Chains A and B, each alone.
Chain A
Amino acid sequence: MKRAALAAQVLLGGCASVLLGACASFPPNPPLAQYVPKSGYGFELVAAAPEDRRDELMVVVSFSGGGTRAAALAYGVLEALRDTTLQWQGGTVRLLDEVDVISSVSGGSFTAAYYALRGEAAFTEFPERFLYRDVQGALIGEMLSPASWPKLAGASYGRSDLAAEFYHRELFGQATYAALIAAKRRPFVILNATDMSTGTPFAFIQDQFDLMCSDLAGVPLARAVAASSAFPGALTPLTFQNYAGRCGYVQPPWVRNAANDHASRENPRRSARAENRLSLAATVADAQTGAAVPVRPYLHLTDGGVADNLGLREPINALTSNNHPWSLVRMMNNGPMKKLVIVAVNAATGASLARDQSAEVPGLFDTVFTAADVPLSNYSFDTVELLGKAVDDQVRDARLVDTCNRRSAEKGAQCALNLPSARRIDFYPVQVAFEYIASPEERDWFRKLETNFALKRGEVDRLTAMGRRLLLEDPHFQRLMKDLGGTISAPGIAPAPR
């Protein structure tokens, strides 16, 4: 009896030690040896323009969350941009080649990251490698595999770490951001996650990683995508290490000014961005060594949709602030930009009214998911409104100057004001969203598609076709086509890349 108990103890103890020994921890993001302003993966790098870049036409695209539904809709839009040619500066250009920035969250980040990495090859590879694939089933298989259990037993290793490993191996060919830096090509792709503690957007760009004294070049693309798409509940947040205080980082001058503006409420949005930067880079003296250590040694990143389910917050900040790593305001002030196209691809579905058919009290899962999802949808509506307002304000301000000059001149030359105008920009705020599908039955079909990583092939095909159709039907896109002599070839008959 004694021997049996001892054997059981040894066995259990052995198992425990084997398990503990094998327990995994998150793969740490590498530290940055020395902060160098404007280096690494940033807009300046990809904008180190080949001579044929046409900065006068600025194109920004955002991809929303929504699992494979969002990825497929985004892919359909990318295909349509590829197939669209414009007459610009005396030549014919593909609209896709003019895309300068893609900002994405969650499901949309798969399409954005894959295109950033593979460029034109994405159009032959991505559908089979991701869109048509039962990624959800594969992930569940990985999680249920006994080989994964010791890893998942680790306190600093979660289901999203496992998902990141799967994407790294199966989708992104083990590429890190170093591959994007080496490629040095537009578009500048910003994958957005959410800082779980502050609820603020966290962009995978070097400007953000500088705050943490970490080198984005060594971060796998798959990990950025996994963080961006770590849907709360279904997937765990991902942990990143903060090395603040170790690389000689210096905040840009605007941060102190904006933080000091907090009390006067001059620009609360700008003050909040400044305070967020200060919080990430904050250090304290270690009690024993006196060395500067981060106030927040670890960051936990969750789905980008928690802070912004459209991927539009970054473009809006760029459109309304000079103090942004790729400020569109600065580009307007500096001159070359003449036309700004913003394509917002939104795969949001409609409200489900199914529960209202019954008097039953909604269950826990329904309540929790609704609590997570409904505010996101409402917030997304506000984000689109914010974009519209930012564009309208700038158009109205320019028109005001013109009107004053014209009216004053009508009173006679002696009354002419000749007010200086800001540089004239033509705005094209394009929206691709199911709500703009004209047929109620068809709209309803798309809005009932689930958020998962396992859609049927036919559903994916309908989504990509709808992405294309909604883009072509958008009135601002049609205006762009008219202004620039645009034509679009049939799907699959793509014009050659430049």
Chain B
Amino acid sequence: MEYVIVEFPTDRLVYIDGEKDGTTNTLLKVDAGTHDFDLGPVENYRPGSRKVTLSGTSSIDPRIITFYRKDDE
């Protein structure tokens, strides 16, 4: 199992490969390989989605995937 934290200034849903799959700023379990991450509707974040290949993470060294508010630009 790979581990990911999707960072965003507020708590909101995380979508992995188009499916609701946990929330931002928490440790998420994801199977190895390439996945698409986004934060779903209300697209006030950038980038619109992230394609990430997960490999070699651990629960104490998760992959950090960061999204930013659009209005923070």
Contacts and interface: CB of A to CB of B under 8 A. Distances in A.
B29 A394 contact: yes
Given A330-B21, A400-B58, A400-B59, A257 B35 contact: yes
A330 B31 CA distance: 10
Contacts of B14: 333
A257 B36 contact: yes
How many B residues are at the interface, by size bracket? Answer: 20 to 34
Given A266-B53, A421-B27, A333 B17 contact: no
Interface string A235-275: 00000000000000000111001101100101100110000
A404 B60 CA distance: 8
A397 B58 CA distance: 7
A332 to B, nearest CB: 6
B23 to A, nearest CB: 8
Nearest to A317: B31
A143 interface: no
Given A261-B53, A322-B16, A422 B33 contact: no
Given A257-B35, A261-B34, A334-B22, A322 B17 contact: yes
Which of B1, B3, B25, B29 lies at the interface centre, i.e. has the most chain A CB atoms within 10 A of its CB? B29
B55 interface: yes
Contacts of A257: 17, 33-36, 51
B28 interface: yes
Given A257-B34, A322-B19, A334-B21, A329 B60 contact: no
B60 A266 contact: no
A420 B21 contact: no
Majority secondary structure, B binding face: strand
Given A254-B17, A334-B21, A334-B22, A329 B5 contact: no
A393 B1 contact: yes
Contacts of B23: 335
Contact of A323 (B5, B26, B31, B51): B31
Nearest to A264: B53
A419 interface: yes
Contact of B32 (A270, A333, A400, A422): A270
Contacts of A332: 29
Interface of B: 1, 3, 5, 14, 16-23, 25-36, 51, 53-55, 58-60
- A-B pairs, 4 with minimum CB distance: A333-B22, A267-B33, A397-B59, A254-B17
